[in-house]
Structure 1
Amino acid sequence: MNYQVAIKNIDTVNEVEGYWSDADFVALLQKFNYPDGATAEKSTLPELLEMAISDYEPNEAAQIVLEYKLGDQLSEGQIEQISNNMLIDKVCEEYPEIHMQGTLFHVNQLLFKAYNGKFPNAKASVVHFSMTPTNGEAQKLTAENILKLLNNGLSDRNLIKRLFENQMSQNIPFPEAEGIVWELDTKDDVNYSLITSENWINKEDITESEFEAVLEEIENEA
């Protein structure tokens, strides 16, 4: 299907509003030995957590938050290694398991804020765009569809295009897309917003703001 694509703007943000729920704050406060989170004013929970976190050594705090968010996917040794690496590198941009990078970003930024900069400051991109079919009705697009359709508007220097050239330009499966795109929202299947790492897509990556693109049916590998 043919699409007319328009990239409207890209916002660069330090955190994704609403990612951490009140329940997350209460659970984390408990893990940081602050038992009264459940009865505290909800508006004070983020600040209380920052104060509770700052009583710990940075790598210890990182281990606690990583265990809370990724304890079912990472071993104790992996968590310890990541918690140390986070103090010197943007692990959320470099970790080889792409599907974990979004969670690592949110953990990193929580710690960055609590420790006032002891952790590297990573950034996310919120991309606002529209994808209008020129010869048919709009249908809900997946992260994989979206990235393939954005291909024509991205610079050849873009990291996604460099690492996944074939997946972006050919009608073959692109399972990594689900990890690259952290959030994808639309109300009408035409106007979209997606959230990803600034490392994957940033303002400098956009070479065309309006362009045509073709979405072919993906051939599943036998």
Structure 2
Amino acid sequence: MKYAIKIHKISTVNELENSWNINDYKELLIRFELPGAETKDINELKELLFMAISDKEPNEAAAIVLNYKLSEHLNEGQIDSLSYEMLVDKISEEYPKIELHQQLFNINQLLYKAYNGKFPNTKATIVDFDITPKANADENITKEIALKCFAQNLDSHNVVIRLFGHQLDANEAFEEANNVIWELQKNGDSYRLITSEYFMNKEEFLKPEFEANIAFFEEE
């Protein structure tokens, strides 16, 4: 299948909009032993939470936030290990379970800002683009289609190309695409792709406009 892609903007950010809401902050304030916040102003709640977080040891704070967000996916021992590893490693890039990377990024950045830099600073990449199917190409743009197209416009040293060569070449199913790309948002005829800077660095993109021929794995 063939697609034409036009990139409008590539942004590097260290926080994703709406990754935390008022209910998140209120629940975390309870867990950090500062309940009863009456304000409904999200920025005030955030400041209160940052103060509560900074009163704890960094690994203790990390464990509390990890438990709140990921207790359904990680056991107590895994959370305890991660709470220490997060202080020295970019866990949201390195953790083996790619499906947890976005949540780990959000957790990492909350802690990074609360502690003014004691945690590593991780980043995300946002790409705003148009994609046009050619001939009989599928018009339902999925994360797999977007990732396979963009992989053809990235420097050969890119992590996606190195890790998922067989999947990109359609020799294997590419289920990982749904987790490598955190979000694929459609707005009219345009799209927004959000992923980790680890998987797509702004400097790795080759052209603002390109065409890509992609294929899909078919079981025999």
Q: Is the shorter-chain TM-score for this pair beyond 0.5, marking a shared fold?
A: yes
TM-score, with normalisation over the residues of structure 1?
0.93
Task: Decide whether the 8 Å contact of 1:10 with 1:202 is kept in 2.
Answer: no
The match for 2:139 is 139
Q: 5+ residue gaps in structure 2? A: none
| Aligned partner of residue 11 in structure 2, secondary structure | strand
| Aligned partner of residue 211 in structure 2, secondary structure | strand
Alignment of 1:103-142 (within 5 A): 103-135=103-135, 139-142=139-142
The match for 1:149 is 149
CA distance in 1 between counterparts of 2:160 and 2:74 reads 25
CA apart distance, 1:41: 2.9
CA apart distance, 1:136: 5.1
Alignment of 1:62-73 (within 5 A): 62-73=62-73
Q: Say whether residues 1:205 and 2:204 are aligned partners.
A: yes
Which region of structure 1 is more displaced relative to structure 2, 100-109 or 178-187?
Answer: 178-187
| Aligned partner of residue 148 in structure 1, secondary structure | helix
4+ long deviations beyond 2 Å: 134-140, 169-172, 214-218
CA distance in 1 between counterparts of 2:207 and 2:153 reads 5
Aligned length: 219
Report the CA distance shift for 1:138/1:144 in structure 2 as closer, same or farther (over 3 A): closer
The match for 2:23 is 23
CA distance in 2 between counterparts of 1:215 and 1:24 reads 40
Give 2:79's aligned amino acid. I
CA apart distance, 1:171: 6.2
Post-superposition Cα deviations, 1:148-195, rounded to whole Å, max 9, x if no partner, equal: 11122111111000000111132642111111111110123x411111
TM-score, with normalisation over the residues of structure 2?
0.94
Give 2:57's aligned amino acid. E
CA apart distance, 1:84: 0.1
The match for 2:162 is 162
CA distance in 2 between counterparts of 1:75 and 1:187 reads 38
CA apart distance, 1:217: 4.4
The match for 2:8 is 8
The match for 2:215 is 216
